[in-house]
Structure 1
Amino acid sequence: MTRTSFAVAVACVFAAACSFGPNGNPPAMPEPAHYGADPQPVQTVPAQGVTQQFVVGAKAVPQWWRTFESDQLNALVDEGLRNSPTLDAADKSLKAAREQLRAQIGSNMLPTIDAGGQAARQRALAIPEIGPNTFLYNTFVGQLQAQYTFDIFGAARLADAALASRVNVQAYQFDAARRALAANIVAAAISAAMLDAQVQTTERLVALANEQARDTQRRYDLGAVSHSDLLNAQQSAASLAASLPPARQQLLTTRHALAVLLGRTPDEAPPALDLASLHVPEQVPVSVPSDLLKARPDIQAADATLKAAAADVGVATAQMFPSLTLSASMGQGGFSWPVALSGAGAIWSIGASITQPIFHGGALFAQRRAAVASYEAATSQYKQTVLAAFQNVADTLAALEHDAQSLDAANVAARAAQRSFEETAARYRLGAVPVTASRASEQQYRNARLDEIRFTGARLNDTAALFQAMGNPPPEALASPVVQ
């Protein structure tokens, strides 16, 4: 066979190996004109003086939490990314997976060479034809052994490709965990700030209700109001007071959760941020669907899982074909050290073995069918992951639009109630209205303020959720696949 013919034969073998399974490319997915059931707006309605613009086609922001313009929030996220035990465990697991990949590639693609030595004293049975005595003798052997299995049909190479893709899955999952940790810290910090503002406002409402109850008690003692009026005032004050402990408990629970996210013990929970110190970003990126598929780590992990499943099909197919192994050894041996170390003690061997599976009870075919079914399942899972990502973006876009509408209405109501309270308080100071009117006006304002605080927190949290939904390219290079 000429060199050209041999090269053509080798190329055909490797081409056949590459065609043993699917190529692992993700299935084509529809690219919707817009994410939600309704076309997405260009911007939200103005709320609290801020109109958020949806910048279609913009790239995802890597450190999106910095767009809230809060140094305290930035410090919390940086601390959490630096100190989280969960993130550190995921990082160490990823490093272990990468080392296992290096070990497998080295074992599959390169020959193995081992050195061995043996010294033994042995007793052999007697041979009647020679004599009745048994034989005592020593043996000394030292040798190098080498072995290499030719990956003719690509079983080892495809197995390495499958493991490399699974390492990539872990890498994308680590990136997803890192982004989720940042998002959870931001959400917890916003929730703590919102709850703290609500607790302070509720405390003032409780104080006003208690003042009203005491004032009603004095008026009842003077006979100016009925006993029913007194009971109603006391009931209102007690109901408000009963709502305060659960609110405080929720605030403490949120602060404790934030402390654990930061890698702290709950007793070192950071104080709640001032809600007014968190600024809503005016521009929010909205990636086009094709960019979203490349930016979200959950989709990338599903893609890597698909590639691993495709390589598994190739491995299961290649295992049905012959394997060729070469082995060789050389060394010294003898019945005494002088003989073992002399030229007469040289020993060596060389050999080749070929194995072709013939009958395994249908196991090889069943394994291939299982690999094909797993690949098909991975394909469906990829499609579902993409659809879930589109839904995630659609939901957060709709939530932001509705948050702005609710916040705008709550803000208008709160400002109107505040102006009414300020005017009533001014009239009270002039003696034009009783203190009860001023107190009732303030209660109305504080209740309106509670709604505004709740919608402010919802808008901040949903803005963070949209940034998170846009994804981000992995910060580090992932393990390089063995085959494409």
Structure 2
Amino acid sequence: MINFKRSSAYLVPLLLVGCAVGPDFHQPALQSGAGYMQTALPQKTASAPGALGSAQQLNVGEDIPGQWWTLFQSVQLNELIDHAFKESPDIAAAQAALAVARENMLAQRGSLFPSIGADASGSRNATPTGSLAPVAANNQRIYSLYTGELTVSYSLDAFGLNRRMIESASAQADNQRFEFEAARLTLSSNVVLSAVNVASLRAQIDAQEETIRANTTLGDILERERELGEASEADWLQQQAALAAARAALPPLQKQLALQHDALSALVGGFPNEPLADDFDLSSLHLPEDLPVSLPASLVEQRPDVLAAAAALHVASAQVGVAIANRLPQISLTAALGTSPSAIANAFTPYNQFFNVVGKVAQPLFQGGALLHRQRAAEASLQQASAQYRSTVINAFQNVADVLHSVQADAQTLQAATAAESAASHSLAIAQEEQRAGEAAYLSVLAAEQTWEAARIASIHARAARLADTVALFQAAGGGWWNRADPMVAADVSGHRK
């Protein structure tokens, strides 16, 4: 036999405090033993003489500055990124999406409070006395009626439906928060990479123009020697072909530079015809010599994409609770207090006042299995979000590992390319000297020149690659957004690392 007195004693605290059904979200723990490499990480990279050839120190556990791009020591680059943050439509869209998510979260919090409404109306009425008696208190056929009412309603969150919906909205705001940070990081990285590409293309164009000048000079020499009978027609024609090939290689580089200018203009929120300070060259960009390498446990707390995936997982977890709560009773209380006098002056007369209090319990009984299947769909979505989170973490570790391999390999590549350029330059100088002394054939000079040209271009690519690797490492480690002091960070809703 049910003891109703004892049952009600347990039911009252349940209605007042309630419980939140569904899983409670916990930040996913990093898999034990996760790391970047199977072997120990080298302490520093190889070095090479000349610009951008310094050895880079790999500092495990070192933090990343909020404005990491300033480490390249280019005032022009800093100004360009600041301009991009202000004018980029992608940043404006991400910021607006964040504002939408936050306002929705705050709106959802309103479900924790009672809803209060007021209603007032006035009417002029006439009673047909042929069939009805006058309804007014003064027995008049024509009368006025004024009604004022205050209503208060409140839904008891007995099973946590409102709390889970607030939790979901808050997690969605977190997700947009980190999507915003990801947009900022992507934009700043792309601007720096574009500057590096511009600098590299300018260096390649300069090298190609110098090659054209060298081939033109050599062609003029062969032209005179051919007229004097000291050079064959075949040698002269071969030199003309080499000169034409050098000239043909220049327009594609100029085209790439123009396209890069257009891309950079778009990144900073401008149009191609607008002036843009993008006269970067490799000598104007400093290679940071200290590279921070985040600890594996810190990486999942720093990468915006990982944090956004964790927030999406949190949303899915809360939605399971919402789906379960929708299958349980919904309890609400409504109270109304009002007055309905025939004259406004009598509004507060006790006989004109009325009130009512209504308690309501609504329990879904049959909806064709819709609520059950929605719960199962929410649970499947939680499994999907969990797998996507794990995939994002794995990709993040792969990203960092790839960059660390590239940092090492490209430093070695520059070392070899610099040595090759130096050797090719000395070889060309010797060949030219021997040709002037009549001790070397033209073909040997042409071969040495082509080898030197290829070595120069390879060296330029290698120097630009070291800058690009550095950008990629800062981006892979999360970009230091938690060290940035601005309103967006100060207003962070997630409680994650700042």
TM-score over 0.5 (shorter chain): yes
Q: 1:144 aligns to what SS in structure 2?
A: strand
Deviations 1:259-316 (A, max 9, x none): 2222233232223212012222222111121111111111111111111111111111
Q: 1:77 to 1:13 in 2, by over 3 A?
A: same
2: CA distance, partners of 1:99 / 1:315: 20
Q: Deviation at 1:162?
A: 0.5
Give the stretch that moved more between structures: 298-307 or 49-58: 49-58
Q: Normalising by structure 1, what TM-score?
A: 0.88
Task: Quote the residue 1:96 is aligned against.
Answer: 100
2: CA distance, partners of 1:126 / 1:414: 114
Q: 1:129 to 1:103 in 2, by over 3 A?
A: closer
2: CA distance, partners of 1:14 / 1:461: 59
Equivalences for 1:258-337 in 2 at 5 Å? Answer: 258-266=264-272, 267-337=274-344
2: CA distance, partners of 1:322 / 1:340: 39
1: CA distance, partners of 2:71 / 2:357: 68
Q: 1:276 aligns to what SS in structure 2?
A: helix
Q: Which amino acid aligns with 2:183?
A: A
Which of 70, 73, 88 is 2:74 aligned to? 70
Q: 1:262 to 1:10 in 2, by over 3 A?
A: farther
Deviations 1:84-103 (A, max 9, x none): 22212211221222112111
Q: 1:311 to 1:192 in 2, by over 3 A?
A: same
Contact 2:127 2:133 in 1 (8 A): no
Equivalences for 1:126-165 in 2 at 5 Å? Answer: 128=131, 138-165=144-171
Q: Deviation at 1:202?
A: 0.6
Task: Quote the residue 1:449 is aligned against.
Answer: 456
Task: Quote the residue 2:109 is aligned against.
Answer: 105
1: CA distance, partners of 2:16 / 2:386: 26
Task: Quote the residue 2:240 is aligned against.
Answer: 234
Is 1:119 equivalent to 2:126 in the alignment?
no
Q: Which amino acid aligns with 2:321?
A: G
Task: Quote the residue 1:478 is aligned against.
Answer: 492
User: How many residue pairs were aligned?
Assistant: 474
1: CA distance, partners of 2:439 / 2:85: 56
Contact 2:428 2:448 in 1 (8 A): yes
Q: Which amino acid aligns with 1:109?
A: L
Task: Quote the residue 2:44 is aligned against.
Answer: 43
Q: Deviation at 1:139?
A: 3.2
Deviations 1:386-410 (A, max 9, x none): 0000100111011111101111000
Q: 1:11 to 1:347 in 2, by over 3 A?
A: closer
Task: Quote the residue 1:255 is aligned against.
Answer: 261
Q: Can you give the 5+ residue segments of structure 2 that lack an aligned partner in the other structure?
A: 135-140
Q: Deviation at 1:83?
A: 2.7
Q: Which amino acid aligns with 2:167?
A: A
1: CA distance, partners of 2:435 / 2:240: 24
Contact 1:294 1:473 in 2 (8 A): no
Task: Quote the residue 2:19 is aligned against.
Answer: 17
Q: Deviation at 1:320?
A: 1.6
Contact 1:60 1:295 in 2 (8 A): no
Q: 1:51 to 1:32 in 2, by over 3 A?
A: farther
Q: Normalising by structure 2, what TM-score?
A: 0.86
Aligned-pair identity in percent equals 36
Q: Deviation at 1:37?
A: 5.0
Task: Quote the residue 2:138 is aligned against.
Answer: none
Task: Quote the residue 1:345 is aligned against.
Answer: 352
Contact 1:208 1:443 in 2 (8 A): no
Task: Quote the residue 2:383 is aligned against.
Answer: 376
Q: Which amino acid aligns with 1:56?
A: V
Q: Can you give the 5+ residue segments of structure 1 that lack an aligned partner in the other structure?
A: none
Q: 1:127 to 1:156 in 2, by over 3 A?
A: farther
2: CA distance, partners of 1:404 / 1:242: 31
